[in-house]
């Protein structure tokens, strides 16, 4: 398996533009997570999906952020409009979650480094 695949690896955009980050989880994994990493706040969860359904989006900063998972093999994180304070590394991760709460194969993507100027 190629692992969790994120694109693009780097994105530089101007303030006010729309940004879309993409993630392909590991085939067979049923949980998908979007995390953000900044120097000030470290790693923090934005949103996660279980079986394509958003479970907890309390970490999404504000209405400018939205995430979708139209099918088991693809998710997007969209920022519209983008602001300089959104500059960060955005990680996608996936895992296989069982009904008893156990978890297997937690894997992170390589991240997207976003710079908003």
Partner 1 sequence: KNEVEQSPQNLTAQEGEFITINCSYSVGISALHWLQQHPGGGIVSLFMLSSGKKKHGRLIATINIQEKHSSLHITASHPRDSAVYICAVRLKKETSGSRLTFGEGTQLTVNP
Q: Provide the binding-site residues for partner 1, judged by CB under 8 A.
A: 31, 33, 42-45, 48, 50, 55-56, 91, 93, 95, 97, 101-103, 106-111
CB of residue 111 to partner 1, shortest distance in Å: 6
112-116 and 10-13 strand pairing: parallel
When the beta carbons of 15 and 43 are compared against partner 1, the nearer one is: 43
**Residue among 31 and 82 whose Cβ is closer to partner 1:** 31
* Cβ-proximal residues to 55 (8 Å cutoff; 6+ apart), any chain: 48, 49
The distance of Cα 48 from the centroid of its chain, to the nearest Å, equals 8
Which sign does the torsion angle of CA 24, 28, 34, 36 carry? negative
Q: Nearest distance from residue 82's CB to partner 1, in Å?
A: 22
């Amino acid at each position: 398996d190629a692992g969790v695949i994120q694109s693009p690896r780097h994105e530089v955009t101007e303030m006010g533009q729309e940004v879309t980050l993409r993630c392909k989880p590991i085939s067979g994994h049923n949980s998908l997570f979007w995390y953000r990493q900044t120097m000030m706040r470290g790693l923090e969860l934005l949103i996660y999906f279980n079986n394509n359904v958003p479970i907890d989006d309390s970490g999404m900063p504000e209405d400018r952020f939205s995430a979708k998972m139209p099918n088991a093999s693809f998710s997007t994180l969209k920022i519209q409009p983008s602001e300089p304070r959104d500059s960060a590394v955005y990680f996608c991760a996936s895992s296989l979650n069982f009904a008893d709460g156990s978890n297997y194969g937690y894997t992170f993507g390589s991240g997207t480094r976003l710079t908003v100027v």
